[in-house]
Amino acid sequence: MRCVDLEQCNSCLEQSRPEEVVAWAAETFGEGLVVSTSFGIQSAAMLHLATSVVPQIPVVWVDTGYLPPETYRFADELSRRLDLNLHVVQAELSPARMEALHGRLWEADDVAALDAYDRLRKVEPMQRALGELGATAWLAGLRADQTEHRAALPMLERRGERFKLLPILGWHNRDVHGYLKAHALPYHPLFEQGYATVGDWHSSRAVAAGDTHERGTRFRGLKQECGLHLEPDQAASLESSQL
């Protein structure tokens, strides 16, 4: 494991352009560097940014088995266009088997049931993929303006045995839009139908009148984070505070 002075690194990285942040990560972590994607509304920006600097960086995509058809088609199109070194990972339980054993967890008005769903279909597969790839550092496209939790994140942090780095943490929607436009990159198809964020078909909807935050369109407004970007001991207390 490389020795990284987090305070010193964050001080420097926060003053750097996203491309410089990715380049620093590539130099620092080498073949242990990966990037994750959800193929969400604005995912093309982070994928283009990462692959412009590190063309064959491993791209980890957790396919829950419940994504909208538009997401699967978008992923296929973008993977071909950017020549992604894509690693698709799924839960060990198939959707049908999970529903038979545990029910349709997403239908419960219960954060604990939603958290169980996320652990089964998202968190475990992601952690397994990072281990199989030998990842020592993980790039993600989180932004500080998306949720209260993300607003408090540093650009670089230690997460167990690996580091996590957020190159576009300081970007806003206008920055993402400008990047997509400058590079002629597409939004997810559901953007045209009013979606500001999209995950599974059963837990995402378009923005409606009266919505005060785009993440309120996910998980029926019961929570904001799916668990991928939470420390295990943070999940219960953080999600319950959002009820």
Give the model confidence (pLDDT) of 78-89 as tens digits: 999 999 999 999
Residues 170, 14: Cα–Cα separation, whole Å: 8
pLDDT score of 219: 80
Give the model confidence (pLDDT) of 153-177 as tens digits: 999 999 888 999 999 999 999 999 9
pLDDT at 240 over 80: no
Q: What is the mean pLDDT of the chain?
A: 89
pLDDT over 90 for what percent of the chain? 73
Residues 48, 45: Cα–Cα separation, whole Å: 5
Over range 129-157, report the average pLDDT: 91
The residues that bridge with 162 in the sheet, in sequence order, are 159
- Structure-model confidence comparison of residues 188 and 3, the more confident one: 188
**Active site members:** 226
Question: pLDDT-derived band of residue 227, with 50, 70 and 90 as boundaries?
Answer: low
Domains delineated in the chain: 6-240 (3.40.50.620)
Question: pLDDT-derived band of residue 1, with 50, 70 and 90 as boundaries?
Answer: very low
Over range 135-150, report the average pLDDT: 89
Residues 176, 231: Cα–Cα separation, whole Å: 26
pLDDT score of 220: 78
Q: What's the gap between Cα 33 and its chain centre? A: 15
